[in-house]
Structure 1
């Protein structure tokens, strides 16, 4: 035990002496290294915890001397020099609300037309009562209203909002959708004409129960309209994403074909409605 105490005293007494024999150059390097580390640690202060100043500016610093202020000034000058970039974020606001309302009206019209066709499909049957005939006529009037609204909002979206007519006019699927709409609208002329004729006959006291053949024909028209309502939005979805986009085909030819389909089928269904016989 006494030997251990003597050894401990010897080590303690010789430690300062041992450090005194370290070469001066090595001690200098050690001091420099420790000083550099301390400087780095003192400089790494992202939250400025070591700053004792309570103001945002250092003593004797003028406004505009900081790097952040200079960067903001340069950014402001760049935005002033390029007004297009400065207003890019708000350039769409002039048409954002009208465009959104047009889109909402377009989608609401589609749902309204779907509801009206479903009502007609479930109401039409042979030997309908006068009350059912009136209900059918009201549904067809609502169908016409929604049809006008979807046409108007579709025109606005194709010409004033969305991607613009220059894009849609060179999109073959746009004109295919117009063809489908033409078929849809032309086929609806048959049911509308029959309903109008029967309403006029009822007012004149010439009401006759609907025959089986006429009811079946009108139901088939409703089924075709329901199918069209399902396929037209699918075509519009591909169209909006530029599928099959091509500017090599003159859009006037595609528009003329769509108009010819609508006019031809309109004549066919109107003529069938006026000349239909049981």
Structure 2
């Protein structure tokens, strides 16, 4: 299986396991800058050189060698499951993507047909009930994750623990798990622990949110989207994410973690 979703600087100063919707664009650009002294011109997900990625055939051998020997500082980044699934909905379901089309082509028509979801018409510009549409999407997301129907789960809303675990199962060890909610503090810990060819000041780093502007603005506070049934569905899908990464299930309005992450617990429970 190898190390899917794993990126590594060409200098091998650090190794990062990507978790979608968790500051991955910004982290990738920080890694790129730390090697080259400049940011990648465009979406870092499109970069084919200047950064080792598991998806690039020539990167697989150096990533495997490094990770299995734990030669470099390895980390990942996680996010509150409530805000992550909401972000996925507004970006991937409501938004028109960079290519001018809906995400995955026929996905939104499928949701309209099978779940009665309306997200602003073909161009995404129409008015719609965000809360009602999101709660129906949540049912769809649960069906994909629990039953793999009407399709396999998408990486943008599959559980973070699933992404994080592949790295461990195949022999990787994390030195740090960063919370998106306190990104600068966590990323500073990463940078303080390593030597990079080019120094980088986090306060000067732009936020490379490639999904920003794809979809409509969220019209309500986070907690308004989650009634009792929605919270039950979220817990059914993301129970391990709440437990391992220490987020507050009981209060969707509290995006901050409530305890420190126990790396030993993460490795033990996700390494099976």
TM-score, normalising length from structure 1? 0.22
The structure with the largest alpha-carbon Rg is 1
Which structure carries more strand by proportion?
A: 2
